[in-house]
Amino acid sequence: MAESTRKVALIFLVTFAIVIPCLEAGIAVYDDFLKAQAEMAHEIALESFVPNPMNITSELNLHVHLAMEEAANMTRRNLREGHAHNPNEPCEASNPIDRCWRCRADWAENRQRLAKCVKGFGRRAVGGLGGPTYVVTDETDEDLVEPKPGTLRHAVTRNGPLWIIFARSMIIKLKQELLVSSDKTIDGRGANVQIRDGAGITMQFVNNVIVHGLRIKKVKAMEGGMIRDSYNHVGQRTRSDGDGVSIFGSSNIWVDHISMSECDDGLVDVIQGSTAITISNCHMTKHNDVMLFGASDSYTGDKIMQITVAFNHFGQGLIQRMPRCRWGFFHVLNNDYTHWLMYAIGGSSGPTILSQGNRFIAPNNEAAKEITHRDYAPKETWSKWQWTSDNDLFMNGAKFTTSGQPITKLENINKGLIMKPRPGSHANRLTKYAGALGCVVGKPC
């Protein structure tokens, strides 16, 4: 009887996790195709969840150290050989993601090498690795149901793995949200690709996507309509929120080297049971609600959410939510916080936040020196939430209020590989090249 009760409870929880997201997912008609997509996405999310997230955070700390040591050795060699800084000489890539690809002059000949470079919780995101290259030649977005070949919308709705690049610099004004299907890489290197003055990019019930090297600006909320979301499905969508990047019920996602600002809603929203995500090397400016991880204090399905936020520059004109978290585990590593007006990192519903090696420069406003902000809970409740600061640098009076037991438990890790994160004094160097890069074919980026 007890076993039967447990099975019924499990079925209810899975059904709840699949159905509840659709109430806010922009889906007007929840047909059999979307039900199957939601169920498959939830299964992948559970498989991608890491029972001991400290294994992943410690691995990333190790790679940060190796990258910094290699960069320092290169600098010493250049000094010994009498080399001054020259843009034609080997570039500096001091963080482990950039170290993997950015200083290779042949990056354009082997673009898919990028798929091997992600670290953190999104480490399994390989995007279109192994698939053909699709070249976007047309910046228009006229037909949302039967997209024109050569457009970005046509590319992201094809079947199977695809590595999407751009023939030239272009401004793409999306008429409605761009629904990206699984196993895709959007690679903006070598061109100035702007997604602006229209809708944003959405990943819903998908797996394994890389978005890299774009400039996303002034994304607007749109009315919705019939929109193709995959090779074999078109669905009715309700109004979109105006997020720059929206990740909904999806797993194994990597967002890297994006420049973002001035969207109607969030710059990056990750919600409804999404997990295994890395957001890295981005430059964010001129925005209020920057990043939202978990949209509801009642949706416990976000307990599996695990996100790495690393090597980003939170720059001019930002107000709050860098990020704002619910329920899950969030590793905030070696970011440079040079601006905020209200607070930098916030949360509710008991999230676990590990802040390591960030630089926090508080605003001059004495009422906004506090980095952290907790919502909808009295102190006797939030004091048990695990919010740990480790090797962070606090400037201009910045203050981080820690809570709960320190996050130190390490299991099943080779203790000889455990290294402390780089201190916050290195954050400006680790984030020096955040945002979309001006890559030129035949030269390091």
How confident is the prediction for the chain on average, in pLDDT? 88
* pLDDT tens figures, 289-345: 999 999 899 999 999 999 999 999 999 999 999 999 999 999 999 999 999 999 999
Burial of residue 138, with CB atoms counted within 10 A of its CB: 0-12 exposed, 13-18 middle, 19 or more buried: middle
DSSP structure class, residue 78: H
Nearest partner of 358 among 329, 387, 337, 330, judged by Cα: 337
* pLDDT tens figures, 169-188: 999 999 999 999 999 999 99
d(CA 13, CA 42): 11
- How much is the pLDDT for 278? 97
* pLDDT tens figures, 58-110: 777 777 766 666 655 554 444 333 333 344 556 787 799 999 999 999 999 99
Question: Does 10 score more than 70 pLDDT?
Answer: no
CB of 261 within 8 A of CB of 286? Answer: yes
- Spatial neighbors of 389 by CB under 8 A, at least 6 apart, are 355, 356, 400, 402
Angle between helical axes of 2-19 and 32-48 (0-180°, round to 10): 110
pTM of the model: 0.90
209-222 burial, b at 16+ Cβ within 10 Å, e below that, comes to bbbbbbbbbbbbbb
d(CA 420, CA 422): 7
CB of 349 within 8 A of CB of 324? Answer: no
d(CA 286, CA 349): 28
pLDDT band at 52 (very low <50, low <70, confident <90, very high): confident
Nearest partner of 160 among 126, 184, 179, judged by Cα: 184
* pLDDT tens figures, 332-387: 999 999 999 999 999 999 999 999 999 999 999 999 999 999 999 999 999 999 99
DSSP structure class, residue 403: B
DSSP structure class, residue 231: T
| CATH entry 2.160.20.10 includes domain 41-63+102-430 | yes
d(CA 124, CA 277): 9
- How much is the pLDDT for 277? 97
Phi first, then psi, for residue 394 (nearest 5°) are -110, 120
d(CA 422, CA 428): 11
355-389 burial, b at 16+ Cβ within 10 Å, e below that, comes to bbbbbbbbbeeeebbebbbbeebeeeebeebbbbb
Identity at 95, one-letter amino acid code: N
Check if 113 is active-site.
Answer: no
> Where are any strands of DSSP class E within 213-290?
215-217, 225-230, 233-237, 245-248, 251-256, 259-261, 268-271, 275-280, 283-285, 287-289
Question: Does 55 score more than 70 pLDDT?
Answer: yes
Which bin fits 80, alpha (ψ -120 to 50), beta or left (φ > 0)? Answer: alpha
Q: For Cα atoms 397, 400, 403, give the angle at the middle one, nearest 5 degrees.
A: 155
> Where are any strands of DSSP class E within 133-224?
133-136, 162-166, 170-172, 178-179, 184-187, 193-196, 201-204, 207-212, 215-217
Question: Does 16 score more than 80 pLDDT?
Answer: no
d(CA 385, CA 165): 43
Residue with tokens 């996602």: 253
Domain coordinates of the chain in residue numbers? Answer: 2-40, 41-63+102-430
pLDDT band at 279 (very low <50, low <70, confident <90, very high): very high
Pairing of strands 162-166, 372-374: unpaired
Catalytic residue of the set 111, 196, 228, 321: 321
> Residue 235, SS3?
strand
> Residue 207, SS3?
strand
Q: For Cα atoms 335, 339, 342, give the angle at the middle one, nearest 5 degrees.
A: 110
d(CA 131, CA 142): 26
Q: DSSP readout, 369-383?
A: -B-EEE-SS-HHHHT
Type and span of the H or E element at 232: none
* pLDDT tens figures, 204-238: 999 999 999 999 999 999 999 999 999 999 999 99
Identity at 346, one-letter amino acid code: G
d(CA 79, CA 89): 13
